[in-house]
Amino acid sequence: MLHESILKDWEHHVDKVPYVIEHKYEPDFVREVDGKKILLESKGRFWDFAEYNKYIWVKKILPKDVELVFLFANPAAPMPAAKRRKDGTKRSHAEWAEAHDFRWYSEDTIPDHWIDAKARESDEYKKRNDKLKVKMQ
């Protein structure tokens, strides 16, 4: 054992040095809304713990005038690896977001002043949403 022989004059495991592995987050959409910069993350679904945990870390470093907001295709979709509750349900994307104090919307609930609300009336938009609703059933 080194700490009992050639390194006996050294202190052994006495310091802890925090470190950060730097990453870059690229939001799907960015816009200023009501004086606040909104990073809008459009999610069909989360795939694993590493993906959804990333957003918790991103949120921690954002300045007060920047907010990460989710736009869920299906807010009721179950989280990956979520355990079944006694009532048979699993934790949803919306529940996860609320538990971590994230604001979230679906395409139906996103505020009109955030989007081109007239685009919701287009045939293309309606066809796409009809296809998505069929897939989610």
Q: Is residue 57 part of a domain?
A: yes
Report yes or no on 113 lying in a domain: no
pLDDT of residue 137: 57
**Residue from 40, 48, 32, 45 nearest 105 by CA:** 40
> Residue 16 maps to which CATH number?
3.40.91
Local confidence pLDDT in tens for the 137 residues of the chain: 898 899 999 998 999 999 988 999 999 999 999 999 999 999 999 999 999 999 999 999 999 999 999 999 999 999 998 899 999 999 999 999 999 999 999 999 999 999 998 988 888 888 877 766 666 55
Give the pTM.
0.81
Q: Is residue 120 part of a domain?
A: no
What is the C-alpha to C-alpha distance for residues 134 and 137, in angstroms, rounded to an integer? Answer: 5
The upper half-sphere exposure of residue 110, i.e. CA atoms within 13 Å in the direction of its Cβ, equals 21
Tokens encoding 7: 């390194």
- Structural domain total, the chain: 1
Beta strands in 21-98 (DSSP E): 29-33, 36-43, 66-72
pLDDT of residue 15: 94
Q: In this structure, how many other beta carbons lie within 10 angstroms of the beta carbon of residue 71? A: 19
Residue range of the domain that includes 70: 2-107
44, 1, 61, 20: which is closest to 132 by C-alpha? 44
pLDDT on residue 81: 87
Gap between the Cα atoms of 43 and 46, Å rounded: 7
